[in-house]
Amino acid sequence: MATSLNTKRTIIGILSVVFLIVLIFALWKEVQRSMPDYRPKPIVDSETEHCIGCHSEKGNGKVITEDWSQSKHAEVGVGCMECHKAEEGDLDGYTHEGSFISTIVTPKDCAKCHEDEATEFMGSHHADAGAIMGSLDNVLAEVVEGHAAYNDGFNPAAANGCWQCHGSRVQLLKDDEGNAIKKNGILQFDPKTWPNTGMGRINLDGSKGSCSACHSRHRFSVAQARQPENCGKCHMGPDHPQLEIYNESKHGINFQAYKNEMNLDAQPWVVGEDYNAAPTCATCHMSATPDQPVSHDVGDRISWTLRPKVSQKIDAAQLAKFKKLGKEPPDDFLTWEERRDKMHNVCLQCHTKQYVFNFYEQYDNQVNMYNDKYGIPATKLMGALKKEGLLTPVKFDEELEMTFFLLWHHEGRRARMGASMMAPDYTQWHGNFELAENFYYKFVPQVKEKIEEGKKHGKTAGAVRVEKMLDEILNSEMHKWVLGKEDPAELKRRQEAAKEFRKRYSE
């Protein structure tokens, strides 16, 4: 009896010790997970171990393998071959150390695990960013700024500039017989087209885009992808300064002040639940809210297109594109109202309904005013000048063409985009002010010069028609001030206000 009791006590004691050890181990693991720099040990299979065996010892491989070891991929055992393995027949596939691989990992490769994200991305405007051939931007790069045939087609203006954001059409180097060239057994890419992580890169496997444009390889950090600077690689500068606009806005100011409270590596990352200090670009255009999931189609929540000469609601622009291609829109086609509702849902996580809806009235009014005062009249005048043969068919060979380009492509975009993201300085001094300066003191005088040239060179009838159109525009409500035809009552009110302003600063 005593022996049996002692045995039970011994078993209970052993189990208690085991339980205590397991509990301490679990608690230690929980403490580890709460540490800011904690990372579980990577899961390394035999193929990945084989790759790391060489690459961690050679050149930049140590950086690559270290980045991978700190990735979410490493935590779950997604190694080198899961991403780089090629299929027989792949144009960019080659045998390396006994494995058939490809150098470039494309959205098609990522889709093996991330099917929804890849599908959404493939349907986005981002995926079509490489389709810039024939655009005025492309004319600038290949003709005005650079030269398409420079150094056997290596046009630096496009290769180092445009294509690094928009994406190149990736090509392999080939010999005189059309065979792909290898060096030390590795396929060689044409340096005109690669390296390139442009958002709309056209890959050899037929897919469009580059996931690493946002998710830098080989760590693929969500925290990095969620930061505004990530978008700023492309979305900055004189024609689309979204990063500068964001930084000026209260959203950007709050992000910089409370960045350490943003919980940027959380999964999921839901505004109002995982963070509330500030929104980033990803918050508004892609990330989850309590009511809608993450989207990799950045256009899903955009109601206006602010890119062209005259802004349209986004569905009108897209429907026109489908019509031009002779296609019907897909069943899941979103109207601009549905897109705006999606963005409203993001805004309403932090702001009241009155605040949000009144903001959109302000924004819509700015876009419509740009269209009515500058975009539509200037576009009509340029169309009339071309129709009447008062402009040459050569792009950008006349100053007026560059003046018009800057009017809508730079100044007009800044005014519209500044309003869209609540950046008053960009809306006013980089936008509306420069629009007015350009339109009245450059564009209109240059149109008048073309009219006079037409009259002198035997194109009088066409020149008179354009002159009549210009007179109608300048005599319209928003422009007649420049002719000294402002309403007397409005002029008097403005003079009295100016008198009060001077009085305030003279006392």
pLDDT of the residue at 42? 83
Say if residue 238 is preceded by a cis peptide, omega within 30 of 0: no
Read off the pLDDT of each residue in 45-54 and give the average, rounded to a whole number: 89
Q: Name 116's Cβ contacts closer than 8 Å, sequence gap at least 6.
A: 296
Residue pair 263/269 in contact by the 8 Å Cβ criterion: yes
Checking if the pLDDT of 22 tops 80, the result is no
DSSP 71: S
Say how far apart CA 14 and CA 79 lie, in whole Å: 40
Q: What average pLDDT does the structure give for the chain?
A: 92
Rg (CA), the chain: 30
Residues paired with residue 99 on neighbouring β-strands, in sequence order: 96
pLDDT of the residue at 8? 67
Read off the pLDDT of each residue in 301-309 and give the average, rounded to a whole number: 96
pLDDT of the residue at 1? 55
pLDDT tens digits, 70-129: 999 999 999 999 999 999 989 999 999 999 999 999 999 999 999 999 999 998 999 999
Residue pair 128/169 in contact by the 8 Å Cβ criterion: no
The dihedrals phi and psi of 435, each to the nearest 5 degrees, come to -60, -50
Beta strands 93-96; 99-102: pairing state: antiparallel
pLDDT of the residue at 507? 64
Higher pLDDT, 179 or 504: 179
Residue pair 346/288 in contact by the 8 Å Cβ criterion: no
pLDDT of the residue at 291? 96
pLDDT of the residue at 54? 86
Checking if the pLDDT of 189 tops 70, the result is yes
pLDDT band at 37 (very low <50, low <70, confident <90, very high): low
Global pTM?
Answer: 0.88
Region class of 326: left (phi > 0), else alpha (psi between -120 and 50), else beta: left
Residue pair 169/203 in contact by the 8 Å Cβ criterion: no
For residues 279-298, one letter each, b for 16 or more C-beta atoms within 10 angstroms of the residue's C-beta and e for the rest, the string is bbbbbbbbbbbeeeeebbbb
Say how far apart CA 364 and CA 79 lie, in whole Å: 48
pLDDT of the residue at 78? 95
Read off the pLDDT of each residue in 398-426 and give the average, rounded to a whole number: 98
Higher pLDDT, 444 or 327: 444
Residue with tokens 């010069």: 449
Higher pLDDT, 31 or 114: 114
Higher pLDDT, 470 or 12: 470
Checking if the pLDDT of 62 tops 90, the result is no
pLDDT of the residue at 38? 55
Residue percentage of the chain with pLDDT more than 70: 93
pLDDT band at 317 (very low <50, low <70, confident <90, very high): confident
pLDDT tens digits, 242-268: 999 999 999 999 999 999 999 999 999
| Dihedral sign for Cα atoms in the order 309, 311, 249, 426 | positive
pLDDT of the residue at 320? 85
Checking if the pLDDT of 35 tops 60, the result is no
Checking if the pLDDT of 367 tops 80, the result is yes
- Pick the closest to residue 77 from 49, 43, 125 (CA basis): 43
Q: Name 89's Cβ contacts closer than 8 Å, sequence gap at least 6.
A: none
Say how far apart CA 353 and CA 367 lie, in whole Å: 21
Higher pLDDT, 506 or 115: 115
pLDDT tens digits, 123-158: 899 999 988 766 889 899 999 999 989 988 888 999
Residues paired with residue 182 on neighbouring β-strands, in sequence order: 187
Read off the pLDDT of each residue in 355-375 and give the average, rounded to a whole number: 98
User: What is the number of other CB atoms lying within 10 angstroms of the CB of residue 500?
Assistant: 8
